[in-house]
Structure 1
Amino acid sequence: MLLVTTPIEKFWDAKKDILFLGEYCKHYSRKEYWQTLNFSTFHTIWSDSSKKKIYANYLNSIQEKTIEYLVEKLNEVHGTKFSKRYWRILLTPFLMHYIPNFFDKYIHILEVKKMFPHNLSTIILSEESFFDINLAEEFISEMVKDEWNLQITSQIIQKIGDIKICDIKKLERKDQKIGLMYELKCFLKNIITFLLMFILRKSSIRNFCQQLPLIQSFSLYFFSFFEFVPCKKIKIKKNKYLKNNMEMRSIFSSYKDVNDDKFCDILMQSFEKNFPLQFIEGFEYYFKKAKFLYGSKCPKVIIQDTSIYSDSLFAMWFAYCIEKGTKSIGFQHGGGYGDRLYNPSQNFELKVNDYYISWGWKKEGYNILPLPSPIIYIPQKKLIEVNNNKDIMLVGTVIPQHFIRYDCQPIDLQFLEYLNWELRFYQSISKEISSNFYIRTYPVDYNWNIKKRLLNNSVRVNSKKNFQEALLNCKIFVSDNLNTTFLYSLAINKPTILFWDQNLWESTSEALHYYSILEKAGIFHRNPESAALKINEIYYSVDLWWKSEEIQKARLLFVENYAKTSDCWERVWVKEIKNLIRY
């Protein structure tokens, strides 16, 4: 039996019986080919709901253990005395994805090995084709790629042994080429951003909310009487001359877990190759670069949302400022916050910020400011009545094929069940109105070929308009996932129908209370058939239904806790933040 761990067909042998490690190994675009093979697919461990919670808690404990160890060792390597909070800010965006990604491959390979203890073989990637992660932000894009995951599985198979390696192959890595115009555009943006920050370097409050449109950032700037200075991240070229220094990386090879946890040992050993150069060999270089670009003078307050994920240099500067006494205010930048049972991003952001701006929810033990969200806010002048449009728009989502973190959403094969729910919904809509139904697919596909799957089942797909325009112009908005788009819909008072599998999209007990209120009102449904029946019932009198007292009461109660907005959000923000930083 040949264990196939990648969709890269160079690492298959069509002459042998094949066991695919996961659904991600079979790209839908190659279905006609792999269907001709003699194969089976190993089912994901994540389908067992009882194990999901155990694994989620385990991964969280491993992350904390890893941070504890690295705080001491990295300070030792660099001759520094930075706090645990400093290193948490730098390391977590990498660790919160790397550890679950590595664990997913590790545990599935172990389970397969138990099923086939004697006759299992595989083809792995040559170490000559392994590549380094330079800046931590690179890993966010690399972790969803097949090449990276092949590197991970190859390393794990070599470490655990007992699986026959029948071949080792090289793989030529194709680096993405950056066009000259793009580089010029980035250069000009960097110059403007750098000059702006230099001129305003003495400002005490800096706003690094990257998800806020520029117009909203400057609106906040004016309403604060020029105190909340809008700032943007600076894009840099990575230092290509950095190479692995095995002497410095001996902190990983010498690790021995005190509880004899073999996974921890193999995980730490994998860092010898996979740990970002930024934190070891390039630490001094990038640290100086960050202080030069963002300024050695620390502001009194930093407001930020996603920059600690997407900008490795900003994260270094931000952590440095925190060490020097800067107060940080985090800002919720999307849905799934406050209502998901597990949300690693939320947990991280709450831990590293002194205060946190939510869209309405609170959490005991943290300094949370429930303020109106400018992200889902749409000005009243745009909220026109749509009388003639007949469209029913379902906005779908997508999950990377490779497991990146446990986040209360479909995993691997479960995503196909999610897509099947969309088809069940479409098939349950009455024929006389189904021609008005379409699905707006997510702009990124991750090799699921969602559009083709839907079109093959006669479902209309339309993603031409931008989201806000499409939302404003549809008759009924439908959401089948616990992400951001339905918060827009409820916030602007658009007729909305919700449905999703609550075993996959798990919510906190507090959020379940509000979803039950939406369910009683007929807005939320536990399955696609029930949601479709509601559409059939209300379609021709949707405004009468939606504007009823019962519906509006349920909507407003939910919005107040998870999708708060205001026409004067700038005034509210300025007042609350200024009151906060006085003390």
Structure 2
Amino acid sequence: MPDMVRQSRRGRVSGAGVALHSVYLHRSEKIKLELLLHQIPSIESKLSFPKARADPQRRNWVVNATDGDPFTRVIADLIPKYLPTCYLEGYADAYSKVAAEGPARTPRVVVTANAFSSDDGWKMWAGLQCERGAKLVIAQHGGHYGTGDWSASQMHEIAISDRYLSWGWRDLEHPTVRPAPATKLIGMVRRRPMQTGRCLQVLASFPRLSYWMFSVPIGPQCQGYFDDQFAFAGALSRQVRDELIVRLNSNDYGWDQAQRWKDVEPEITTDNGRSDLSTLLDHTRLYVATYNATTFLESFTQGVPTVMFWNPEFWELSESAKPFFELLREAGVLFDDPVTCALHVNSIWEDVPAWWASSNVQSAVNEFCNQYAFVGRRPLRDLKAALTHW
């Protein structure tokens, strides 16, 4: 059921007037930020809408797209059929519930990292606040943003927000993009590199029929991605293979990942993707990132020795990001070929901490993080400034 925040019930917002919801800050960090904003710390609770039945009679209308291309006309035909009921048949009840039971706060700024797409209740409430003059701020909620060559999600989020908080990068074509500390990375504790431990290879998975429009493997390209994973594992030395754990993605999308690994590499230990990643990192000597997303940004932030590999034809990079990824290539952190990456892992396995501590590796990683995984020395004060200085 849709849900929304019910914060500081039935009162005018205090302090800086910033309403935070689903911003990816750890609870303690969120409380600290709200205190910096001179606000009473808020508790996020649920507001559910009653389900409404679709009414064919109320969907007997047409979106005019006669001048559009064939794809646009198909979408126009589908909208009346698949518009969520909370925006049509159930809209009046949902709106009334938001007005009656939702927060009566009058914020100057509403902030979220993902509720703009996944929380219909919050969207209705935030829409009301924006109609009354509030600013909408969207905080980046993961990796790939700013680094991928194309991303429908990134374009949409920047377009609908008054300010978009990136994890360090700028967009010269969109001045509303403002670099700020990465909310998901704030408070992460740096780990001490381990002389012993496992090699953790972390995998992605994608829909067989893609509905995510961004620069990742699409449809049949996913087979090439899986082949690269097997090529990497197959080129590792016996010493590394004995310590290898392959973390499958918890979303299988019908690829039957576990069985594929049993068929190709039956001796290698796999994790179903549901184990706590932090617990796995407690025993990890070397982290192997295989896709352009959030995982390696988290391992970089925690100081976990990391190597990466992926096919650049599947993971196209933005022009602005290419120089920073090239720094990682030159430092032996990023590889375009799985076998070359595996041979590098073999060469550093006996003393991973020494390799990771080398000046060229640390220089490349730090420069990359300043651009795409920025936290800074005073992250909460910097966040406050990003939310209140207009």
Indicate whether the TM-score tops 0.5: yes
Whether the aligned pair in 2 keeps the contact of 1:233 and 1:314 (CA below 8 Å) is no
TM-score, with structure 2 as normaliser: 0.90
- Return the alpha-carbon distance in structure 1 between the equivalents of residues 369 and 12 of structure 2: 38
The equivalent of 2:375 in structure 1 is 565
1:464-479 correspondence to structure 2 within 5 Å = 465-479=275-289
1:29-108 superposed matches below 5 A: none
AA in 2 matched with 1:211: Y
1:53-80 superposed Cα distances (whole Å, 9 cap, x missing partner):
xxxxxxxxxxxxxxxxxxxxxxxxxxxx
Tell me the distance in 2 between the aligned counterparts of 1:332 and 1:302. 14
Contact 1:209 1:307 in 2 (8 A): yes
Distance 1:544 1:467, change over 3 A: same
Counterpart position of 1:410: 217
Match of 2:208 in 1: 401
* 1:562 CA displacement: 0.3
The amino acid across from 2:250 in the alignment is P
Instruction: Give how far 1:437 is off.
Output: 1.1
**Are 1:208 and 1:230, in contact at CA under 8 Å, matched by a contact in 2?**
no
The residue number in structure 2 matching 1:244 is: 55
Partners of 1:269 and 1:420 in 2: CA distance: 39
Asked if structure 2 preserves the Cα contact closer than 8 Å seen for 1:211 and 1:333, the reply is: yes
Residue identity matched to 1:216: E
**Aligned-partner SS, 2:329:** helix
Give how far 1:243 is off.
Answer: 3.0
The answer as to whether partners of 2:180 and 2:382 remain within 8 angstroms in 1 is yes
Partner AA of 1:368 in structure 2: V
Q: Does 1:333 align with 2:124?
A: no
**Residue of structure 1 aligned with 2:162, choices 313, 331, 354:** 354
Q: Deviations over 1:497-551 (max 9, x none)?
A: 1111111111101111111111011111011011101101111122222111111
- TM-score, length basis structure 1: 0.62
How many matched pairs? 384
* Residues 203, 249 of structure 2: 8 Å contact kept: yes
Whole-angstrom distance in 1 between the partners of 2:60 and 2:79: 8
Query: Residue type of the partner of 1:433?
Result: V
The separation in 2 between residues aligned to 1:374 and 1:265, in whole angstroms, is 39
CA shift, 1:412, in A, is 1.8
Alignment partner of 2:100 out of 282, 292, 296: 292
Which of 305, 308, 313 is the equivalent residue of 1:495? 305
Partner of residue 513 from structure 1, selected from 323, 329, 338? 323
| Aligned residue in 2 for 1:450 | 257
Contact 2:23 2:183 in 1 (8 A): no
Residue deviations 1:217-255 (CA, integer Å, cap 9, x gap): 21222333326x545362414333x33243553234xx3
Contact persistence 2:217–2:314 (CA under 8 A): yes
Report the Cα offset of residue 307 of structure 1.
Answer: 0.8
Describe how 1:534-573 pairs up with structure 2 within 5 A.
534-566=344-376, 568-573=378-383
Tell me which residue corresponds to 1:481. 291
Deviation at 1:475, TM superposition (A): 0.6
Q: Is the 8 A contact 1:360 1:370 kept in 2?
A: yes
- SS at 1:475's partner residue? strand
Q: Between the two proteins, what is the percent identity of the paired residues?
A: 21
8 A Cα contact 1:454 1:460, kept in partner: no
Compared with structure 1, are the counterparts of its residues 430 and 378 closer, same or farther at alpha carbon in structure 2 (3 Å cutoff)? farther
Quote the residue 2:29 is aligned against. 216
Cα 1:323/1:421, change in 2 over 3 Å: same
Shift of 1:372: 2.0
The structural deviation recorded for 1:378 is 4.6
Counterpart of 2:185?
Answer: 376
The 2-side partners of 1:477 and 1:490 are apart by 10
Q: Answer whether contact 1:233 1:307 (CA < 8 A) is retained.
A: no
Deviation of 1:274 after TM superposition, in Å, equals: 1.9
More helix by share: 1
Q: Is the 8 A contact 2:138 2:157 kept in 1?
A: yes
Q: How far, CA to CA, are the matches of 2:123 and 2:234 in structure 1?
A: 48
**Whole-Å Cα distance in 1 between the matches of residues 290 and 274 of structure 2?**
20
Report the secondary structure of 1:571's partner residue: helix
Aligned equivalents of 1:387 and 1:285: distance in 2?
Answer: 60
- 2:18 alignment counterpart: 205
Q: Relative contact order (C-alpha < 8 Å, sep 6+): which is higher?
A: 2
Q: CA deviation at 1:282?
A: 2.7
In the alignment, what sits opposite 1:316?
124
Q: SS of the residue aligned with 2:287?
A: strand
Q: For residues 80-132 of structure 1, what are the alpha-carbon distances to aligned partners after superposition, in whole Å with 9 as ceiling and x for unaligned?
A: xxxxxxxxxxxxxxxxxxxxxxxxxxxxxxxxxxxxxxxxxxxxxxxxxxxxx
Contact 2:311–2:336 (8 Å) recurs in 1: yes
Contact 1:358 1:371 in 2 (8 A): yes
Change over 3 Å in CA distance of 1:271–1:354 after alignment to 2: closer
Are 1:529 and 2:336 counterparts?
no
Distance in 1 between residues matched to 2:376 and 2:81, nearest whole Å: 49
Runs of 5+ in structure 2 lacking a partner? none
Residue 66 of structure 1 corresponds to none
Match of 2:235 in 1: 428
Which of structures 1 and 2 has the bigger CA Rg?
1
Specify the alignment match of 1:460 in structure 2: 269
* RMSD (Å), alpha carbons: 2.4
Instruction: Tell me how far apart the structure 1 counterparts of residues 362 and 304 of structure 2 sit (CA, whole Å).
Output: 11
Give how far 1:446 is off.
1.9
Q: 1:283: Cα distance to partner?
A: 2.7
| C-alpha deviation, 1:306, in angstroms | 0.7
User: Secondary structure at the residue paired with 1:251?
Assistant: coil
Structure 1 494/454 Cα, relative in aligned 2: closer, same or farther at 3 Å?
Answer: same
Verify: 1:367 aligned to 2:172, yes or no: no
Distance 1:271 1:357, change over 3 A: closer
Listed as ranges, the gaps of 5+ residues in structure 1 are 1-134, 138-185
Q: Residues 299, 527 of structure 1: CA spacing in aligned structure 2 closer, same or farther, 3 A cutoff?
A: same
